[in-house]
Amino acid sequence: MRVLITGAAGFIGSTLAHRLAARGTEVVGIDNLNDYYPVALKQDRLKRLQSECGDKFTFHKVDFSDMGALNSVLADEKFDRIVHLGAQAGVRYSIENPHAYVQANLVGHLNMLEVARNREVEHMVYASSSSVYGGNTKLPFSVDDRVDHPLSLYAATKKADELMSETYANLYRLPLTGLRFFTVYGPWGRPDMMMWIFTKKILEGETIPVFNGGNMYRDFTYVEDIVSGVVACLDNPPSDDAKPKAGGSIQPHALYNIGNHRSEHLMKVIEILEAECGKKAVMEMLPMQDGDVEKTYADIDAIQSDLGYQPTTPIEVGVPAFVAWYKEYNGL
């Protein structure tokens, strides 16, 4: 099998590429290396892949929302399956720069669907997000829940990606699997995410912003558990048998939550960070942010029963692993 990964210089994408290459799967990675967060981190992830994966990993710099450039780069590349993880990330940034999300998450997703259709790939797995659940109050969030009330443009683009994918599964019988990720963290993570921000500020003695007065709950999911779920999905395309799939489609299109199936209180995570950093956090209690939600909690019954997915990393293990990596990466 040869797999194309978009967002290969990203957090989840680079970790997935490393896992696939380690098992002998050839990986073609693409990424536009944009400056939403420091490009140096993305380049360091690529250096790790190139040094540890050898000829199992090939990389091309390209913006997948530019169809002409994408077709040009992929013209001589062969691949059997696609994992489309590239996107403009960040709930809060979508309020400041909405056009970036339309270009990357809508135009870009359509382009990848077209690549998958024209290449007649065996399966495309794509990243959705737990943010599609928006204002839902029923916990845990299930793939059978309605997701018609997004609270941010980012969430709306991810729901739109699911809808576009449903039409391609219907029109072209293209096997597709959408994955709603829940608060991913771990080594090689993103500097714009809470785990990195809090660790950095605690170590440097700076004040950390704690929203909703700390009354926040998240289904924190360790990146290696996420990747295990992605690989399980990649290896098991949905059947074109007119039977209902996870998420309710009768097309060859499944939707799964990938989470830790635990909703952890934010203050508990801060306590673990304090212990690992060896410092007390200086906290500024703030109101809820626009576009944010108070609680996330993944119902993972569907992916457990269909694919045997089982997260194994509680925050008591995962958070110390992240802090240890952060210190090593930053020479602390």
pLDDT of residue 293: 79
User: Encoding tokens for residue 210?
Assistant: 């704690």
**CA gap 17, 49 in Å, rounded:** 8
pLDDT of residue 135: 81
User: Encoding tokens for residue 286?
Assistant: 């703030």
Q: What pTM does this model have?
A: 0.95
pLDDT of residue 292: 74
Beta strands in 45-136 (DSSP E): 57-61, 81-84, 123-127
pLDDT of residue 294: 83
Exactly one of 101, 133, 154, 222 is catalytic; name it.
154
- Mean pLDDT of all residues belonging to the chain: 95
* 127 neighbors 12 (Cβ within 8 angstroms): yes
Q: Tens digit of pLDDT for each residue in 35-90?
A: 999 999 999 999 999 999 999 999 999 999 999 999 999 999 999 999 999 998 77
pLDDT of residue 105: 95
What's the chain's length in residues? 332
Q: Is 146 left (phi over 0), alpha (psi -120 to 50) or beta?
A: beta
- Using pLDDT thresholds of 50, 70 and 90, give the confidence band for residue 123: very high
- Report whether the peptide linkage leading into residue 237 is cis, meaning its omega lies within 30 degrees of zero: no
Is residue 244's pLDDT more than 80? yes
Mean pLDDT for 16-27 is: 98
Identify whether 126 is a catalytic site residue. no
pLDDT of residue 68: 98
In one-letter notation, the amino acid at residue 148 is D
**CA gap 255, 159 in Å, rounded:** 11
Q: Tens digit of pLDDT for each residue in 132-147?
A: 998 888 889 999 999 9
Is residue 92's pLDDT more than 90? no
Q: Tens digit of pLDDT for each residue in 287-298?
A: 988 777 788 889
Mean pLDDT for 156-180 is: 97
Longest dimension (CA), the chain: 57
Among 170, 186, 185, 203, which Cα is nearest to 282's?
Answer: 203
* 6 neighbors 30 (Cβ within 8 angstroms): yes
- Report whether the peptide linkage leading into residue 175 is cis, meaning its omega lies within 30 degrees of zero: no
pLDDT of residue 93: 76
